[in-house]
Structure 1
Amino acid sequence: MNAECLSLQTPVDSTITLRRDKRLVAQQFSRAAHSYDQAAGIQLQVRNQLLSRLQRVNGPLFGHWLDIGCGTGQTLPRLHQLGAQQVYGLDLASGMIRSARRFASPAIALLQADADQIPLADASCDGLFSSLMLQWSEQPHSTLREWARVLKPGGTLALATLLPGTQQELLQAWRSIDDKPHVNNFISAADLQQALLQAGLRSVSRQQSLLQEHYDSLTSLLRNLKAIGATNVNPGRKSGLGGGRALQQLDNAYPRERNGLLPLSYQVQWLLLRKE
């Protein structure tokens, strides 16, 4: 495959009922492509830790690697530098793929496609890399089976995802105002482990940590979430944020630390897995 960007229209299984519209998720990340790299502090930290763990546990890479949810493409040259001869970057958001084109080369190809319907042959990848994408899947069991399909037996999956407790401060504040969904649901560690085992993926290394960002105002916190594309697209949500009164209520309800800063938590799990 050459390094041109492939925009693929894949059929959607009509038997699957999703709670979020994937088109809206893709649109929000497309809009955020220009601001993502500057705003994604936690995301960059998580990705770099995953790369470090992959290098330490797996050693030099080889063969074909796929970055699922590649975003602006920052990881693609890193995977190539670590030894992968061919790297594919896959993302559903057209804006992210356009941004990632700066890294395209004979060794780096881009795929605009759904992570639940990867346009690659069975057992075609020696390794998969995915940092903070799986939590956007409505059906992680099905998603992980698809990822395992394209992975060769004995191949490696380097995975970082979010667990319950992520954005708990924002969830707590909104619950004092209304019962609408404002924060995504996150798969539990136990359910994630079950999904991985059912997909034939065995854990080699696992670690979980709480990471936090701190903001001096609610406005800056919400602006940062918008800049990385992590806005609310849950069904049943209110249009917009509810106006000035709701924002003031949210500001009043948001937990603060003694220094007055607003924390935002991320429960992160890093995993290195092998396909049995």
Structure 2
Amino acid sequence: MRDDFARAAESYDSAAVLAREVGARMAARLDLVKIAPARVADIGCATGDGIRELQQRYPKAQALAVDYALPMLRAVKDRTPLTQRIMRRAPRLVNADVRALPLAANSLGLVWSNLMLHWLDDPLPALRELHRVLEVGGLLSFATLGPDTLKELRAAAAKVGAGDTARRFLDMHDLGDMLVAAGFGDPVMDMELVTLTYAAPRAFLADQRHLGVRDALLGHQGWRDWRRLLGAWPRDAEGRLPASFEIVHGHAWKPEPRQIADGRAVVKFHSR
């Protein structure tokens, strides 16, 4: 998938309608949180919408744009205003995998991740790594795809007996359990359904190709099965093809440690 995503850097913005909408909803949720982080990071930043939002929201913070696809980071650089470069306020570009970040422990006040974690077969190692780099009291804010994503296509596949090869996604309860297992405290999870509509299957497939996720999202099956499946895709009242995406939102804080590195428990005494 890394190569597909890298090749999509030039076409990504033309198809990233869902990512922009989810990013706006993530930003609205930050309105409810009163923080002043010194360092912020967008993990899986793509072409940089998220890091630009964070820079606008927290202008005094050092901003890190993190992605494992170098062409995406080049796109972030190309879209950075000249004034930011002159004033040395451009985001710092970090080419890395979320499961092995080249960042010091306890170094970030806020981690933002928009529609990235669901591409991992097991998000738990990534969540543990994000917990490591967050400072105590730091916030993780993320959005992923949930299990009702593309329910229309799954129903069409069942109707015609075609293979359901679309990727399966974790539900918010499983993700909440993983956050606790990674060390986060009191995670807050919620979900919503966002539905995009397409005039024809070709437009939907083109969007996924431009995003660099078509094969990862839809899987592989014979073209005859694809024709039957796409032909059974139900249209809405306006004759368009609905594609639903379940969006799982998560907020979690890094609490004070209960143990130090050698395993001994931390006990605090408070005077009256």
TM-score (norm 1): 0.82
Which residue is equivalent to 2:53?
Answer: 78
CA contact (8 A) 1:72 1:96 kept: yes
Q: Structure 2: how far apart are the matches of 1:205 and 1:194? A: 11
CA displacement 1:211-232 (0-9 Å, x = unmatched): 1000111111111111122212
User: Does residue 198 of structure 1 match 2:181?
Assistant: yes
Q: How far apart, in 2, do the equivalents of 1:116 and 1:152 lie? A: 17
Cα displacement string for residues 212-255 of structure 1 (whole angstroms, at most 9, x for unaligned residues)? 000111111111111122212389x53xx633x44431222212
Q: How does 1:118-197 map to 2 (within 5 A)?
A: 118-175=101-158, 176-179=160-163, 181=165, 183-197=166-180
Distance 2:96 2:17 in 1: 26
CA contact (8 A) 1:213 1:265 kept: yes
CA distance in structure 1 between the partners assigned to 2:92 and 2:178 by the alignment: 29
State which of 247, 266, 270 in structure 2 corresponds to 1:268. 247
Displacement, 1:159?
A: 1.0
Percent pairwise identity: 31
CA contact 2:179–2:187 (8 Å) conserved in 1 = no
What secondary structure is seen at the aligned counterpart in 1 of 2:46? coil
Query: Which residue, 22, 29, 35 being the options, matches 1:53?
Result: 29
Code of the aligned partner of 1:187: L
* 2:226 is the alignment partner of 1:242: no
| 2:173 counterpart of 1:225 | no
Q: Which residue of 2 aligns with 1:101?
A: 77
Aligned length: 246
Residue 206 of structure 1: CA displacement? 3.7
Report the alpha carbon displacement of residue 29 of structure 1 after superposing the two structures with TM. 1.3
Note the alpha carbon deviations across 1:7-43, whole angstroms, 9 max, x for none. Answer: xxxxxxxxxxxxxxxxxx1111112211211211111
- Whose Rg is larger? 2
Give the letter for the 1:87 counterpart. A
Counterpart of 2:215 in 1: which secondary structure? coil
Where does residue 230 of structure 2 map in the other structure? Answer: 251
Alpha carbon RMSD of aligned pairs, Å?
2.1
Q: Which consecutive segments of 4 or more residues in structure 1 shift more than 4 A?
A: none
The alpha-carbon deviation at position 71 of structure 1 amounts to 0.4
Indicate yes or no: 2:97 matched with 1:117: no
Does the 8 Å CA contact 1:169/1:264 hold for their aligned counterparts? yes
8 Å Cα contact 1:135/1:161 also seen in 2: yes
Deviations 1:50-83 (A, max 9, x none): 01211x1223533011110000012222212212
Please, which of 77, 86, 89 is the counterpart of residue 65 of structure 2?
Answer: 89
Q: Name the SS of the counterpart of 1:65 in structure 2.
A: strand
Counterpart of 1:64 in structure 2 is 39
CA contact (8 A) 1:60 1:82 kept: no
**Which secondary structure state, in structure 1, belongs to the residue aligned with residue 32 of structure 2?**
helix
Q: Which runs of 5+ in 1 are unaligned?
A: 1-24
Is the 2:42–2:111 contact (alpha carbons within 8 Å) kept by the matching residues of 1? yes
Q: 1 CA distance for matches of 2:109 and 2:162? A: 47
1:204-223 matches, within 5 Å, as: 205-223=188-206
**Structure 2 unaligned regions, length at least 5:** 256-272
